[in-house]
Structure 1
Amino acid sequence: MFNRKNKSTIDSLIGATTSINGDVHFKGGLRIDGHVTGNVIAESGSPSILVISEQAIIDGEVHAGHIVVNGVINGPVVSTELIELQSKARISGDVQYKALEMMNGALVSGKLGHDQATEPVLKLAASN
């Protein structure tokens, strides 16, 4: 209606039968259904969404704005916006985030750390 571009558009897909050995750098949206041995890094300074499906396995670091996890990540994760851990998410590594949603059944073997440099996720109204 107001010509807003949908920030959650998936531009690229790594299919379930695909294995990648090496780093993956992307801009915009990426969905991973396969296996990546290497780091998955979104271009900084622009909106990004990374979807890691139930079949996906990532052995390496993950850096993106909005991250949706329902698969396996073996390595540290940094989300500059929102990370959604769905019920089959399995992360072995530290998770740094601005905002976090975690469903029942999701597992994190590592430290959860809120990005202290950002504004609080919840703002309370100040009384005058």
Structure 2
Amino acid sequence: MLKKKSEQFDGSVDTLIGPQVVIRGDLEFSGGLHVEGRIIGKVIATEGGKAMLTLAEGGVIEGEVHAPIVALNGSLTGDVHASERVELAPKARVRGNIHYKVVEMCAGATLTGRLIHVDSLPAEHVVEGGREALVEAA
């Protein structure tokens, strides 16, 4: 199921982090990023572009993730912010909150944290005349 969805992404894998690679520090990417190794730091997709992060079964990320599409089958410690969708495959192990628009979770995946739905139209807090109001962005 995870592989089929990955093939639907219109970009290919632009960057591969192999199983023997350890990256310490923040990583910014665009296009397709496939992680089989270990990243210790934030993983952030460049704003405005199409991007997908795939964390393979043996892959590990220790840090926040910000990307439109996130497909997990490895171990992730940190919050996930996905503007489009999150896929949790059977071997996914997530310790952190998942902010999602659409989520798919297979049997066997584990999440130690919260699932937080992000509305398609974000709300903003506005202070008017000393009062705080919640206004939907257009």
Give the Å deviation of 1:83.
Answer: 0.7
Match of 2:102 in 1: 99
Q: Aligned partners of 2:121, 2:17: CA distance in 1, in Å? A: 31
Q: What CA RMSD, in Å, does the superposition of the two structures yield over aligned residues?
A: 1.3
CA displacement 1:92-111 (0-9 Å, x = unmatched)? 00000010000001011001
SS at match of 2:13: coil
Give the match for residue 9 of structure 1. Answer: 12
**1:110 to 2:113 alignment:** yes
- Between Structure 1 and Structure 2, the one with more strand by share is 2
More helix by share: 2
1:35 matched to 2:13? no
Which position in structure 1 is the counterpart of 2:57? 54
TM-score for both structures, normalised by structure 1: 0.85
Query: What's the offset of the Cα at 1:45?
Result: 1.1
Determine if the alignment matches structure 1 residue 26 to structure 2 residue 29.
Answer: yes
Does the 8 A contact of 1:60 with 1:73 survive in 2?
Answer: yes
Identity of aligned residues (%): 39
Measured against aligned partners, the alpha-carbon deviations of 1:63-111 in whole angstroms (never above 9, x if no partner) come to 1111110000000001111111000000000000010000001011001
Runs of 4+ in 1 over 6 A off after TM superposition: none
TM-score of the pair, normalised by structure 2: 0.79
Deviations 1:23-45 (A, max 9, x none): 11001110000010000110111
Rg larger in structure: 2
- Look up the SS of the partner of 1:68 in the other structure: strand
List alignment gaps of at least 5 residues for structure 2: 1-8, 123-138
Name 2:129's counterpart in structure 1. none
Q: Is the 8 A contact 1:7 1:48 kept in 2?
A: no
Number of matched residues? 114
State the partner residue of 2:83: 80
Q: CA deviation at 1:46?
A: 1.0
One-letter amino acid of the counterpart of residue 70, structure 2: I
Unaligned runs of 5+ in 1: 1-5, 120-128
